[in-house]
Amino acid sequence: MRHQPAVWHFGLMSEYWTLFKRETPELPGLLSTIQRFGQPVLDLACGTGRVLLGLLRHGVDADGIDVSADMIAHAKSAAALEGRAPSLHVQPMHDFSSDRSYRTIVIVDSFGLGGNRDQDRATLRRCHAALRAGGALILNIQMEYTSTEAWALWSPIGRASLPEPWPEREIERVAPNGDVYRLRIRTTSASAIRQSFTREMRIEKWVDGERRAEETATLAGNMYLPSEVIASLREAGFSRVELRSGFTDLPATDDSSSVVFIAEKNSAA
């Protein structure tokens, strides 16, 4: 039996992402790197198309893959409103396949989510296989150690405090049509030896002052340090790996809250 990635990007959460997760600060950096390595581009774990649509608007030949059929449906609808019909498929990252080969593959804010380390390494191998010679994989990870609050959860005292209580105040966002979404997120477990965590979300949808829907779901993830990512990329066959501070041209430092890895496939491969 194949392991189903433990992600929460379905139902109300996919609606929430469609409505409120629309900005693409990564886009300038991605476009610059794509110009370097070329097209076509695969947006792996594309979600509702936040990054993908930005690429398409700049004339990039891009496809999208995501594990959530709900997210893909929202991406198709958003693209159709702009008169676009990108190739979109529902597949998990670690088991994706494509009839096309790519010059650039991007994974934004999604590597290490939903599965285990074996699946993460499988994702990197599949990316390497799907790239053309001389192409590149671009992925980023958030550095837990740059956040005092996040890093504390990995300590014995922090782990003993789990599961966290639900936050007293929810994140509340109002959709253009007046519907209200109320979201709470907490960490329920963390394993320092496995460098893995589980988070839980509870989301409500209110319409005309009445709660019409409520959903609770979990998200599994792996915490990585840069050295392990580099080793996994090399194991997958990538010949050269650059580290950047976020989606910029600046080199990564100890203070970079997000580290971007640009992994090249050997031009002779």
**150-197: pLDDT as tens digits:** 999 999 999 999 999 999 999 999 999 999 999 999 999 999 999 999
- Nearest partner of 48 among 25, 28, 19, 26, judged by Cα: 19
For strands 62-66 and 131-142, give the pairing.
unpaired
CATH of range 11-143+225-264; options 3.90.1150.10, 3.40.50.150, 2.120.10.30, 1.20.1250.20: 3.40.50.150
Percent of the chain with pLDDT over 90: 96
Task: Provide the whole-model pTM.
Answer: 0.95
**Beta partners for residue 216, in sequence order:** 202
Tell me the pLDDT band of 267, cut-offs 50, 70 and 90.
confident
Residue 203: strand pairing partners: 183, 215
Average pLDDT of the chain? 95
Domain boundaries, the chain: 11-143+225-264, 146-221
Flag whether pLDDT at 2 surpasses 50.
Answer: no
SS3 state at 50: helix
Q: What is the 3-state secondary structure (H, E, C) of 104-145?
A: EEEECCCCCECCCHHHHHHHHHHHHHHEEEEEEEEEEEECHH
Sequence-separated (6 or more) residues with CB below 8 Å from residue 215:
11, 12, 13, 202, 203
- 3-state SS assignment for residue 229: helix
